[in-house]
Amino acid sequence: MMVRIAAGVAATWMLILSAPLCLAADGTEGKKAESVSSETDPYVWLEEVEGEKALDWVRARNKISQSKLESDADFTTLRDDLLAIFDSNERIPFVRKRGDFYYNFWRDEKNERGVWRRTTLDEYKKAEPKWEVIIDLDELAKAENENWVWSGAQMLRPDYNRVLISLSRGGADADVTREFDMMTRKFVEDGFNRPEAKGGMSWIDIDHVFVSTDFGPGSMTDSGYPRVVKLWTRGEKMEDAKTVYEGEKTDMSISGSHDDTPGYERNFIRRAIAFYNNEVYLLKEDGSLAQIEAPNSAGKGVHCQYLTLELRDAWTVGDKTYTAGSLLVANFDDFMAGKREFTVLFEPNERNALAGYSFTKDYLLLNVLEDVASKLFVMQEGADGKWSKTPLVGAPALGTVSVSPVDSDESNDYFMTSTDYLTPTTLYMGEVGKEPEELKAMPEFFDAAGLTVAQHFATSKDGTKIPYFMLYRKDMKFDGSNPTLLYGYGGFEISLQPGYRATVGRAWSTQGGVYVVANIRGGGEYGPRWHQAALKKNRLKAYEDFAAVANDLIDRKVTSHDHLGIQGGSNGGLLVGNMVTLYPDLFKAAVCQVPLLDMKRYSHLLAGASWMAEYGNPDIPEEWEFIQTYSPYHNVKEEVDYPTVLFTTSTRDDRVHPGHARKMFAKMEGWGKDVLYYENIEGGHGGAANNRQSAFMTALAFTFLKQELFPKTEE
């Protein structure tokens, strides 16, 4: 298997942080975040996530929004249709191979919380496989009277009879980890069990695990993640486990992992100092650490004899400079011994970027984005040490394609998915060098007849060409009257690639709406340079890009101010907040989901401190000077007319504090602005804890957009 030890990035809101006021991110009594008071911030009391007064306020606003949106004649039908999509048994059950079985976690109408199950490959290839249920989360939640949400499972090689199961309450990032026995189908009573906290646990062998979690006062970072990783031996108390590494309180997180590849078993410690800033150490048998001496900004991976480096910045080694965005490979043991001999597997140009890579038994599968379209290649090291590169046989030429190994230790088989805005996701299984076999395809959840997709480029304020995709009806009149939804994210080097969006198709496109996705700077569509162009003091570039796309749509008479709406979540919620406050005349309506909005306080709320590499540190005057230019909570003004805004968030979001959305709405509501608010009591950062909640939240957003952007019908 490949151990990816690269620095992580924030998820988009749908892949897409409840601590009382004045508590530190680790839940202990902490600093009062710049001693904020009701005099400097009259709405600071809304940061008390589960305070009775705050929740009463939430329920009152929820009731108003529900009354307005649920009373819409089409709401119930839309919600039910969306739920049917989320619950459909015709969706693809994606699997992971472990031993002889293929495992899947699944939610549907009968399994609201979900089941963890498995099947054989022969069964999986059938239209209706027979599944063996391992854990029924609905039964477990009922038996334990907990709102459990699935967080994942890690199985122990080689027999896969023991599993570390992670579960969260209500979908929060904080979760528990429990040891599960596959033979008895029960949790191991005296096994490895980690109490609720942000962190994790991973197998080393049957008697040892790495655990990074809340060990008590001082054990968590300012970002609310573990500062300490320990090696825990079976039979001892967790608090007595041996400390392997301690990071600094100002670090983002510390973790340990075990590479269980046969013949290449190794242990690693990862110190995430910040986003795009990590140190990785090989943990030797004597307990000493050997650092992988590569740039902190580089992503680092180890597979068998190989070390891979994804460069975010240019790197000079001797007389050779390697370009930012490149993928390098070297022999791991030689590198650790001091040799610096690399092969460049990918080097970007102006129009492409590395989208990803993975190993099979004998090959490396390379995924490249060219103007936000996927290109797949197979690479192999020859006997002479040189790497060859050929296109992956059978890979689709258009759309978004991803590929991953079935079992990188044993075969050259791979899974491949292909999709675009109009083509339902298709799953293939193949062997390198042969034509892949189509295994399963998602059904058409909406009628795409008459719809088409086009890619355009808008020119931003500084002359940069910004790509965007537009899904619309072929017979659309370019008269400025088309209701148009513009979606964006623009952060953390995350790319927005074309994909089949059944909910958008049902709720928007088939109803006559135009759907647009903007690939603005801050994302990863053109690699690190595209992301770095909108970091910190350059953040406004992302918003200028988004405005350029909006203006291009208006100039091309796709739409007009009265019919143009925007949507985004998490960092995309910050995008929406800034478009509302900085460009109030450009849009008619906005959906702002699980957002950051108070950029003065963000680094003191939950996981906010971990994002200072993206936005800056508001406690440093010089940095607050530029941060405040994109802090919607501080830039909203009483005398300005703004688009109508629907704010949504989740009480159980322990990543982005719900106080952001609460306070922004309260300020605008206090000035009599046209705003709505809905807060799901469950759901975590994804906004929903189950399919029913997802359908309801999606229906709220699209009903709001329809009411605001579609032409009013005559009474």
DSSP per position, 134-167: EEEHHHHHHHHT--EEEEEEEEPTTT--EEEEEE
Nearest-5° Cα angle at 587, 581 to 589: 90
pLDDT tens for each residue of 249-270: 999 999 999 999 999 999 999 9
The residues pairing with 245 across neighbouring beta strands, listed in sequence order, are: 229
Overall average pLDDT of the 469-487 stretch: 98
Q: Name the band, by pLDDT with cuts 50, 70 and 90, for residue 19.
A: very low
List the one residue out of 262, 198, 195, 265 whose CA is nearest residue 232.
Answer: 195
Note the pLDDT of residue 29.
26
Question: What whole-number percentage of the chain has pLDDT above 90?
Answer: 90
Note the pLDDT of residue 715.
44
Q: Name the band, by pLDDT with cuts 50, 70 and 90, for residue 686.
A: low
- What's the CA gap between 177 and 203, in Å, rounded? 12
Q: Is the pLDDT of residue 34 over 70?
A: no
| Rounded (10°) CA dihedral 14, 17, 18, 21 | -140
Please give the single-letter amino acid code of residue 85: I
Reported for 261-268, long-range contacts at CB under 8 A and 24+ positions apart, including other chains, are 261/1, 261/303, 261/304, 261/409, 262/409, 263/304, 264/304, 264/305, 266/3, 266/302, 267/204, 267/210, 268/3, 268/5, 268/302
- What's the CA gap between 278 and 696, in Å, rounded? 39
- The tally of domains found in the chain comes to 1
What's the chain's average pLDDT? 93
- What's the CA gap between 347 and 523, in Å, rounded? 18
Residue with the two structure tokens 């000079």: 316
The residues pairing with 509 across neighbouring beta strands, listed in sequence order, are: none
CB-based burial, 403-439: b 16+ in 10 Å, e otherwise: bbbbbbbeebbbbbbbbbbbbbbbbbbbebeeebeeb
Q: In terms of C-beta density within 10 A (0-12 exposed, 13-18 middle, 19 or more buried), how is residue 486 classed?
A: buried
The residues pairing with 327 across neighbouring beta strands, listed in sequence order, are: 310, 346
Q: Name the band, by pLDDT with cuts 50, 70 and 90, for residue 142.
A: very high
Q: Is the pLDDT of residue 487 over 70?
A: yes
Note the pLDDT of residue 18.
24
Question: What whole-number percentage of the chain has pLDDT above 70?
Answer: 93
Full residue range of the structural domain in which residue 504 is found: 54-79+452-709
List the one residue out of 345, 274, 268 whose CA is nearest residue 310.
Answer: 345
- What's the CA gap between 624 and 673, in Å, rounded? 27
Strands, E, within 666-706: which ranges?
675-680
Phi, psi of 429 (to 5 degrees): -130, 135
Q: Name the band, by pLDDT with cuts 50, 70 and 90, for residue 654.
A: confident
Q: Name the band, by pLDDT with cuts 50, 70 and 90, for residue 4.
A: low
Phi, psi of 340 (to 5 degrees): -130, 65
Contact 115, 105 (CB under 8 A): yes
Q: Residue 582 corresponds to which tokens in the numbers above?
A: 């900085």
Residues listed for the chain: 715
Contact 632, 576 (CB under 8 A): no
Overall average pLDDT of the 419-432 stretch: 97
- What's the CA gap between 520 and 457, in Å, rounded? 11
Residue 534 lies in a domain: yes
Overall average pLDDT of the 315-328 stretch: 97
List the one residue out of 318, 179, 297 whose CA is nearest residue 238.
Answer: 179
Q: In terms of C-beta density within 10 A (0-12 exposed, 13-18 middle, 19 or more buried), how is residue 190 classed?
A: exposed
Note the pLDDT of residue 304.
97
Please give the single-letter amino acid code of residue 72: D
Residue 608 lies in a domain: yes
Q: Is the dihedral of CA 546, 551, 556, 559 positive or negative?
A: positive
| CATH, residue 671 | 3.40.50.1820
Q: Within a 10 A sphere around the Cβ of 18, how many other Cβ atoms?
A: 18
Residue with the two structure tokens 């795409």: 448
Q: Name the band, by pLDDT with cuts 50, 70 and 90, for residue 711.
A: confident
Q: In terms of C-beta density within 10 A (0-12 exposed, 13-18 middle, 19 or more buried), how is residue 466 classed?
A: buried
Residue 684 lies in a domain: yes
Q: Residue 554 corresponds to which tokens in the numbers above?
A: 């208006």
Residue 395 lies in a domain: no
Contact 361, 401 (CB under 8 A): no
Q: Residue 693 corresponds to which tokens in the numbers above?
A: 């909640």
Residue 527 lies in a domain: yes
- What's the CA gap between 299 and 534, in Å, rounded? 20
Q: Within a 10 A sphere around the Cβ of 184, how many other Cβ atoms?
A: 9
- What's the CA gap between 254 and 275, in Å, rounded? 13
Residue 689 lies in a domain: yes
Note the pLDDT of residue 687.
57
Note the pLDDT of residue 5.
54
List the one residue out of 275, 273, 274, 266 whose CA is nearest residue 301.
Answer: 266
Residue 135 lies in a domain: no
Q: Name the band, by pLDDT with cuts 50, 70 and 90, for residue 243.
A: very high
Per-residue DSSP letters for 55-66? HHHHHHHHHHHH
Please give the single-letter amino acid code of residue 261: T
- H helices present in 485-608, as ranges: 502-507, 528-532, 540-555, 571-582
Most confident of 4-8, 171-175, 298-302: 298-302
Q: Is the pLDDT of residue 12 over 80?
A: no
Note the pLDDT of residue 2.
63
Q: Is the pLDDT of residue 186 over 50?
A: yes
Catalogue the active-site residues: 570, 685
Overall average pLDDT of the 189-213 stretch: 97
Q: Name the band, by pLDDT with cuts 50, 70 and 90, for residue 39.
A: low
Give residue 545's Cα distance to chain centre: 22
CB-based burial, 608-630: b 16+ in 10 Å, e otherwise: bbbbbbbbbebeeeebbebbebb
- What's the CA gap between 549 and 547, in Å, rounded? 5
Q: Name the band, by pLDDT with cuts 50, 70 and 90, for residue 3.
A: low
Phi, psi of 548 (to 5 degrees): -65, -40
Q: Is the pLDDT of residue 661 over 90?
A: yes
Phi, psi of 693 (to 5 degrees): -70, -40
Residue 374 lies in a domain: no
Q: Name the band, by pLDDT with cuts 50, 70 and 90, for residue 315.
A: very high
Q: Is the pLDDT of residue 247 over 90?
A: yes
